[in-house]
Structure 1
Amino acid sequence: MSTSYTEQVEHLMAQYREQYEALQRTQRRLREISCTVTAPRQTVSVTAGHGGVITDVKFPTGAYKRMAPAELAAAVLSTITEAQDKAAAEAAEAVAPSLPPGVDARKLFTGDVDLQSLLSPEPQLNDAVRDVMNIRD
């Protein structure tokens, strides 16, 4: 015996609410990303947030004063890159559960994923939707 139209719609609405709440949790987690990396000899400390945005740069010791400008610049740049990579990895981890199976979240963040691969040529419909639309395989 099939379920009534009302029950099917209620079921779809419940699924939608679950997905919406999961999306809100993911967004919250992304906003909370904060990754701090400290260079060797504690010359510089860099904090990156979601999207690789640098939110803080500190020089925790006076070690930077004894460095040549090119050496300090290299330390700052490599620490920034490492903090951004760490933040991207956390973001990928947060988003991964909501991606289709087989999609590498890390590659998605670096732009190495074919975006068309995220959608199938035909939409995936659950049984309730198929019943409402009278679609049969």
Structure 2
Amino acid sequence: MGADHRAQVEELLAGYRRSREQLGVVHRKLAALKESATSEDGLVTVTVGPQGQLCELVIVDSAYRKLRPHELAQTIVELTEKAALLMARRAGEVLAPVLPPDTDPDALLRGTADLTQTELKTEQPGAEETFENLTWMQAGRRKR
């Protein structure tokens, strides 16, 4: 192998090592990310991890007196969604420097980076029958 080829190989290997090192840094930053959201009244705080998963939930004792169970549940769901959106933005900011210039980090994280608008359109589900307002006695009297 000539000196020119050896220099090219060394240069390629050095570039690979730099890219791999940079990818490791990005991976560690992503793994360490956490994002929190707190209700306006300060009664509930949720924290999500890098995948948007709930990893911490803090409910102030007075929340149980001020909120009905379904209100508390809805607050937790809404705050988790809010924190997950914040997390996705932060993850996109961490990823952006290592992505090609024309790549949308948010689309990449959603798994839609290579899909067209037509492929992204979802079908609107038809009216589905629900049973939420029926008691068990009414459900048994349904026409067959």
TM-score scaled by structure 2? 0.72
The structure with the larger Rg is 2
For residues 62-121 of structure 1, give each alpha carbon's deviation from its aligned partner in whole angstroms, at most 9, with x where no partner exists. 1342112222222111101011111111111111112122111012222332169xxxxx
More deviation, 107-116/33-42: 107-116
Corresponding residue number in structure 1 for 2:47: 47
| Unpaired runs of at least 5, structure 1 | 117-137
Corresponding residue number in structure 2 for 1:22: 22
More deviation, 71-80/21-30: 71-80
Identity fraction in percent: 32
CA RMSD, aligned part only? 1.8
3-state secondary structure, aligned to 1:112: coil
- Displacement, 1:60? 3.2
Native 8 Å contact 1:46 1:58 kept in 2 = yes
3-state secondary structure, aligned to 2:100: coil
**Structure with greater helix percent:** 1
Mapped to 2, the partners of 1:19 and 1:87 lie a distance apart of 24
Name the aligned partner's letter for residue 71 of structure 2. E
Name the aligned partner's letter for residue 62 of structure 2. G
Native 8 Å contact 1:92 1:109 kept in 2 = yes
- Pairing 1:48-67 to 2, within 5 Å after superposition: 48-67=48-67
- Displacement, 1:40? 1.2
Aligned residues: 114
Higher relative contact order (CA 8 A, sep 6+): 1
Corresponding residue number in structure 1 for 2:89: 89
- Displacement, 1:34? 0.9
Mapped to 2, the partners of 1:112 and 1:13 lie a distance apart of 32
Where do 4+ consecutive residues of structure 1 move more than 2 Å?
A: none
Corresponding residue number in structure 2 for 1:108: 108
